[in-house]
């Protein structure tokens, strides 16, 4: 069984969906949890209370990861509360889907700023205490869109492809300090983010996958928990697809 006792984990965008499932899973494995959220304080506090109800420790910290100063304050709040940061999961992300020919510049910027620049901001702030500790786990949430590209998602595909390149580059930069950096690429997962997809698109995605079904947020959380563990200490710079065989 994975043991994360005495570890401190920060998950961005953790008030719902995949981020929430990751927070609950890492808490179940013994980690102290920092729930980052942008706007939904009530949902974030609900995750905190769920963790505490099961005997865990957790706090919620508001921060817009697009803002560098907010990202730095998020790491400071983590250190102030728990004294260290061992695990960072960069999960915060949004979509603004449309065809490239009619995509607004602000929708391109918003998706890149949240999904890619946000990952940069929080990671840059987190690696400083991790390097002092000479230990850490960074797990970035990417997407099949960043591997094979999705029509109607040029902004999201570009951002998630950037996350993969960022993951590999940072893994090379800080590996000598005992820090691993990996990515998890979820396929079609039932969340608030995917709930608005038209049925025909969902059916097509499921048909393209080897397992012919959708996944759950818990499936992603299991993979993140492994990469956050001591058992994954010799794995870095990798992209783990948790997609039912969608991208093969």
> Of residues 156, 209, 225, 242, which has the active-site annotation?
156
For 159, phi then psi, to 5°, come to -65, -45
Structure tokens at 3: 């043991």
DSSP character at residue 211: S
DSSP character at residue 81: H
Pair 155, 103: CB distance under 8 Å: yes
Q: Write out the H or E segment, with its range, that includes residue 239.
A: strand 239-242
Smallest Cα–Cα separation from 9: which of 229, 239, 242, 240? 229
Q: State CA 159 to chain mean position distance.
A: 13
Distance CA 190, CA 2 (A): 25
- Is residue 37 part of the annotated active site? The answer reads no
> Can you tell me whether residue 16 is helix, strand or coil?
coil
Number of neighbours of residue 143 by Cβ within 10 angstroms? 27
Active site residues: 156
């Amino acid at each position: 069984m994975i043991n994360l006792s005495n570890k401190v984990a920060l998950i961005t965008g953790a008030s719902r969906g995949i981020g929430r499932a990751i927070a609950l899973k890492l808490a179940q494995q013994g980690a102290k949890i920092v729930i980052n959220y942008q706007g939904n304080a009530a949902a974030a506090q609900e995750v905190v209370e769920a963790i505490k109800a099961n005997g865990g420790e957790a706090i919620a910290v508001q921060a817009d990861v697009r803002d560098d100063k907010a990202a730095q304050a998020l790491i400071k709040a983590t250190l102030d509360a728990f004294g260290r940061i061992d695990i960072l999961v960069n999960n915060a992300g949004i979509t603004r889907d449309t065809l490239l020919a009619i995509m607004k510049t602000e929708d391109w910027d918003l998706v890149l700023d949240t999904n890619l620049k946000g990952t940069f901001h929080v990671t840059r702030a987190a690696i400083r205490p991790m390097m002092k500790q000479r230990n850490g786990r960074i797990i970035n949430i990417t997407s099949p869109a960043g591997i094979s590209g999705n029509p109607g998602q040029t902004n999201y595909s570009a951002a998630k492809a950037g996350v993969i390149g960022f993951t590999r580059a940072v893994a090379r930069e800080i590996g000598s300090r005992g820090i691993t950096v990996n990515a998890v690429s979820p396929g079609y997962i039932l969340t608030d983010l995917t709930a608005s997809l038209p049925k025909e698109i969902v059916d097509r995605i499921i048909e393209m996958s080897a397992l012919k079904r959708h996944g759950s947020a818990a499936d992603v959380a299991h993979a993140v928990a492994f990469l956050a563990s001591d058992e994954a200490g010799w794995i870095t710079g990798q992209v783990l697809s948790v997609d039912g065989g969608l991208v093969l």
